[in-house]
A and B are shown apart, each in its own frame.
Chain A
Amino acid sequence: MIKVENLSKAFGSKLAVNGVSFSVERGEVLGFLGPNGAGKSTTMRMITGFIPPSDGKISVGGFNMVADPIPAKRLIGYLPENAPVYIDMTVQGFLGFCAELSGLRGDDRKKAVNRVVEMCFLESVLYQSVDTLSKGYRHRTCFAQSIIHDPDVLVLDEPTDGLDPNQKHEIRGLIRRMGERKAIIFSTHILEEVEAVCSRAIIIDRGRVVASGTPQELKRRSELGGAVLLVASGVKGAQLTERLSSVPNARKTMIVKEENGKVWVRIFPKTDNRNGELARNVLVAANCWQVEELHTEEGRLDEVFRSITLPETANKGTK
């Protein structure tokens, strides 16, 4: 549904987005990750046709966003950053206005407004002026606006920013449900959100795509991915590491902490370790002590994120 090729955007001499390419099909939820100022919002603004790209091609549902913006925009629902709304309108008036601009009139308009009001739990504030709403309601009102015409494509710029945990949970559920029938792009700073909602994720840094894949694939890039954590009691740390360093396919062992007579040790594999072989070997090597806990780690997305977007400090962080 969304196809972006070699997209670039220059503001003056500064290249905000530099050669970004990706595509999103129906039924996919693409997570957009990256530090602040990485070019996430700029990319989204180009996809939705708010700003023209300096270079590259955007097609939405087969329509070129630059040459043929109106039919392309018809397919998109967009939640801009900070969820702007017309503060001099009521919630109902605002949603009606957005429905009309999307080409819904008369009965269709009424139905569309009722549908999103129900989906986003806005009944209680329907006749209230937007400027009297709390941030959460304002945010949901703007979110409701983006899905009012039941678009095939949804572009959401930080949809859960500034919401409380319950509201975040609701919005995530909504995105996941809608992701079954739509193509969705959303940006976020919250990494657990990516794991909870996305079928695929892209990490952008300084205008470039630096990593992409399913959340599982990304996590595997973590140094911790595949490492085995062992907790044993009744043994000294040095003794344990010495024993474990002789385990086949263990690259190195590291003591995480030592307290109350227990030792936490992390064993890193030589090669990609997925089938639990390392864990079995470790268990065999440690069988003369009391093993309290043993598990293979999945890797952590925040660590991958840091190591990719901040190469120099990431090494310090993980060691």
Chain B
Amino acid sequence: MNSIANIKTIAKRELGGYFSSPVAYVFMVIFLVLTGFFTFSMDGNFFQMGQASLDSFFKWHPWLYLFLVPCVGMRLWAEERRVGTIELLLTKPVTAWQAIVGKFLASWIFLGLSLALTFPVFITVNYLGSPDNGVIIASYLGSLLMAGTYLAISCMTSAMTRNQVVSFIISVVICLFLVLCGFPPVTGFLTRMDKPWVVDLVSSLSVMTHFQPFTTGMVDSRDVIFFLLIIGFALFTNGVIIRSHRAG
């Protein structure tokens, strides 16, 4: 019970940290503006499709998160190391993993909140037509899991450096890799090699491949496990990195 209380305390502080600075509001506004822009203005947009679905909304999420999630995650550990508060935090009677999970959960809740604030599109599509709300809910779930995956990677890269910019760039690169290996032009190129197993292997590493079923309303346990595994792995690595810094 004690560890849950510690995680809660750390998560609460971290979440408070977002809202006591302009970061949270700037992030939310940009996120909402961009999702709106992509949904209603890009090629193949909401109105052109003439369907009561949010496909045009969700299909941009892997790309939007690519840049926005690392912004949320980059400060988590880099800032602690730069200011020196990490010394304060880790000499309190808490374990490193409690701190890691607490920080991760706080940021994930923050991303979930931002995602929840897109509810007007949900209302709009329900007002204009009668969409399959099950599909929409599954898509939201997939989107949240994908955001968590990007976030865990950002946490990990944030622990690598005390410079937030460096952390941001490394995390974008890793996430870009996870997106690209399921991106049709890339998989198309691999198909030409005529080795189907290579295509399968590479594209199964991609968040695109595992996010796509959610947008058709399919919540497959394998996709959920994929996201959770990456989150778990990234947070574990986060712990290893923090320990290695302290070991000198």
Chain A residues packing against B (C-beta within 8 Å)? 9-12, 45, 48-52, 70-71, 73-74, 76, 78, 80-82, 84-89, 93, 97-98, 100-103, 105, 129, 142, 145
Contact = CB atoms under 8 A, between A and B. Distances in A.
Given A51-B246, A82-B84, A84-B88, A101 B94 contact: yes
B16 A80 contact: no
Nearest to A93: B16
Contacts of A142: 88
A10 B248 contact: yes
Contacts of B2: 103
Nearest to B84: A84
27 contacts: A9-B248, A10-B248, A11-B248, A49-B90, A51-B246, A52-B247, A70-B93, A71-B93, A78-B88, A80-B87, A81-B84, A84-B83, A84-B84, A86-B13, A86-B83, A88-B16, A88-B17, A88-B21, A93-B13, A93-B16, A97-B13, A100-B5, A100-B9, A101-B9, A101-B89, A102-B92, A105-B5
Contacts of B20: 88-89, 129
Given A88-B20, A89-B17, A101 B92 contact: yes
Given A84-B83, A86-B85, A103 B13 contact: no
Nearest to B87: A80
Contacts of B6: 101
Nearest to A90: B20
B191 interface: no
Closest 5 CB pairs of A and B: A84-B84, A101-B92, A11-B248, A73-B93, A48-B91
Given A50-B91, A80-B87, A89-B17, A97 B248 contact: no
Contact of A49 (B5, B9, B85, B91): B91
Contacts, number: 79
Interface string B1-15: 010011001100100
A49 B87 CA distance: 9
Given A11-B248, A51-B247, A88-B21, A102 B93 contact: yes
B41 interface: no
A86 B16 CA distance: 11
B80 to A, nearest CB: 9
Q: Name the interface size band of chain B.
A: 20 to 34
A113 to B, nearest CB: 14
A85 B10 CA distance: 14
Given A78-B88, A98-B88, 5 more contacts: A76-B91, A88-B21, A89-B17, A100-B9, A145-B88
Contact of B90 (A50, A76, A82, A129): A50
A101 B84 CA distance: 17
B9 A97 contact: yes
B95 interface: yes
B246 A101 contact: no
B248 A12 contact: yes
A73 B91 contact: yes
B98 to A, nearest CB: 9
A50 B93 CA distance: 11
Count chain A CB atoms within 10 A of each CB in B13, B88, B89 and give the residue with the most.
Answer: B88
A25 B85 CA distance: 28
A300 B21 CA distance: 51
Contact of B84 (A11, A80, A88): A80
Given A88-B21, A93-B16, A97-B13, A70 B83 contact: no
Interface in B203-248: 246-248
A303 B88 CA distance: 35
Contacts of B89: 101
A50 B246 contact: yes
Nearest to A142: B88
Contact of A89 (B13, B90, B246, B248): B13
Contacts of B16: 88-89, 93
A143 B248 CA distance: 26
Interface string B73-116: 00000000001110111111111000000000000000000000
Contacts of A105: 5
